[in-house]
């Protein structure tokens, strides 16, 4: 805004309290306040914007380098100087001078320009629980002179790893290897790598960020389902239904020809014998489609380990179905999960969190029957607190003709198999027993 236009606006504002005859007009306090705000916006707002920009560019970064101990020393220096001046205490002045000297020495430690090229590399960004994630940090001195020793920090989740850089000549490269132990399913943020300059007393601390953060997925542990356990449906062509079709695989009977029937399905031998056109009729087949309903209601699990066992069980079933190119649907109380690839499924399983504010396993089974009406085999993965009556109610929601299994996860329990009506109930205490249980269940 130009000075001329600003002056014109101010002149208009100041001239409003008078009529054209020159007689003063009484203004309401609210009107005066609005006029004052308008003037402030014209003159104060641009100045305030420049002050904020200057503060964010110079003052804020400088204040960010002062640690908590640094603020204590700075405050002590001010207080001691005031006490020494007011009461004439020379000892207080000396102590305040010493505090100022310590801060000046600390400033000398953090000054200087670092010229690094830092590369953070994780060998794998997806590992299973129990595997070690291996990575490396490569640091190159891109300046034309030798740099002094420094420290690098690498945040790993809630923890921070510290790496010491030696004295590096121009163009020299230093590399450090590290491993990240994985004990629980989680998404761990690794990085960003930052260099740190600080004085020995940690009064001032200057950080520079060199890389972007990287997400490390710690997938749930899964087990391989090989042999008969993998063949949940013995008929590779699909299971027949009671619905009749004019074109399918499973032959049912012969019937009279009606206009519109496909002539390729005319049975010519019977037609020649009876003297009228006869066509084949088929039973519709259902392609192998596995549905997994995983309960994430923590009230249905005895321990946290049981919930992790349930996630590993559902992930193992889904991974095997994807491996065999079967159609797969996985559903929880939070909604459907991505099943396009094993990677997508395990990533979603890694992010999955339990809660106790939504539906039970019975509600989940009802939702599954509506969401996946064409399923040919259903797995309900639940906790040990789900009662037989609840399992019976859940099985009643499964459409007739669909083979249903319920896997009750209870860490340490003995593997067992039982039947509740048409529902096969498997008690699983160890993930390694899943293959054996399934082999017995489909035998």
Q: How far is Cα of residue 41 from the mean position of the Cα atoms in its chain?
A: 44
* Whether residue 8 has pLDDT greater than 70: no
370-371-372 Cα angle (round to 5):
95
Q: Which tokens is 157 given?
A: 């989740």
Q: What is the pLDDT of residue 4?
A: 44
| Placement of tokens 């020809």 in the chain | 257
pLDDT in tens, 178-200: 999 999 999 999 999 998 888 88
Beta pairing class for 335-336 and 416-420? unpaired
Q: 13 pLDDT exceeds 60? A: no
pLDDT, averaged across the chain? 83
CA 79/CA 425 separation, integer angstroms: 74
Query: If pLDDT is split at 50, 70 and 90, which confidence band does 61 have?
Result: confident
Percent of the chain with pLDDT over 70: 86
> What pLDDT does residue 244 have?
43
pLDDT range class, residue 359, cuts 50, 70, 90? confident
State mean pLDDT over 113-131. Answer: 90
CA 248 to chain CA centroid, nearest Å:
44
pLDDT greater than 60 at residue 248: no
Which two tokens mark 173? 């490269």
Supply the pLDDT for residue 1.
43
pLDDT grade, residue 243 (50/70/90)? very low
Q: Pick from 407, 333, 335, 400: which is nearest to 373 by CA?
A: 400
**pLDDT in the model for residue 327:** 87
Mean pLDDT score, 21-49: 70
pLDDT value of residue 53: 85
Q: Strand order of the sheet with strand 239-245?
A: 239-245, 278-286, 250-256
């Amino acid at each position: 805004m130009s000075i001329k236009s600003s002056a014109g606006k101010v002149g208009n504002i100041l001239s409003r309290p008078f009529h054209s005859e020159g007689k003063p007009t009484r203004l309401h306090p609210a009107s005066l306040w609005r006029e004052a705000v308008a003037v402030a916006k014209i003159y104060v707002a641009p100045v305030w914007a420049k002050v904020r920009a200057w503060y964010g560019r110079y003052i804020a970064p400088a204040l960010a380098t002062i640690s908590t101990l640094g603020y204590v020393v700075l405050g002590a220096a001010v207080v001691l100087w005031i006490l020494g001046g007011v009461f004439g205490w020379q000892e207080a002045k000396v102590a305040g001078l010493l505090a100022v000297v310590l801060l000046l020495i600390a400033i000398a430690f953090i000054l200087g320009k670092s010229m690094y090229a830092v590369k953070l590399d994780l060998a794998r960004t997806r590992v299973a629980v129990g595997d070690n994630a291996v990575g490396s940090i490569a640091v190159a001195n891109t300046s034309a002179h030798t740099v002094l020793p420094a420290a690098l920090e690498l945040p790993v989740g809630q923890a921070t790893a510290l790496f010491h850089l030696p004295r590096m000549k121009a163009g020299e490269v230093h590399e450090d290897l590290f491993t990240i132990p994985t004990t629980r399913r989680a998404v761990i943020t690794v990085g960003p790598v930052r260099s740190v300059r600080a004085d020995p007393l940690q009064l001032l601390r200057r950080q520079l960020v060199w890389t972007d953060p990287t997400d490390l997925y710690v997938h749930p542990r899964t087990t391989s389902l090989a042999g008969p356990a993998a063949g949940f449906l013995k008929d590779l062509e699909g299971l027949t239904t009671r619905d009749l079709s004019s074109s399918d695989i499973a032959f049912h009977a012969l019937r009279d020809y009606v206009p519109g029937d496909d002539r390729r399905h005319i049975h010519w031998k019977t037609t020649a014998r009876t003297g009228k056109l006869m066509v084949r009729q088929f039973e519709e087949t259902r392609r192998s489609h596995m549905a997994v309903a995983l309960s994430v209601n923590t009230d249905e699990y005895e321990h946290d380990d049981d919930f992790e066992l349930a996630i590993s069980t559902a992930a193992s079933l889904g991974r095997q179905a994807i491996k065999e190119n079967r159609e797969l649907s996985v559903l929880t109380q939070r909604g459907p999960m991505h099943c396009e690839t094993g990677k997508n499924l395990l990533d979603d399983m890694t992010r999955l969190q339990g809660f106790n504010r939504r539906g039970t396993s019975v509600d989940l089974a009802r939702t599954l029957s509506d969401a996946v009406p064409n399923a040919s085999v259903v797995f309900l993965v639940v906790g040990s607190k789900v009662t037989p009556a609840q399992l019976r109610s859940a099985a009643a929601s499964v459409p007739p003709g669909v083979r249903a299994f319920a896997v009750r996860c209870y860490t340490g329990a003995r593997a067992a198999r039982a039947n509740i009506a048409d529902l096969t109930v498997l008690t699983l205490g160890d993930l390694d027993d899943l293959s054996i249980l399934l082999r017995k269940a489909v035998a």
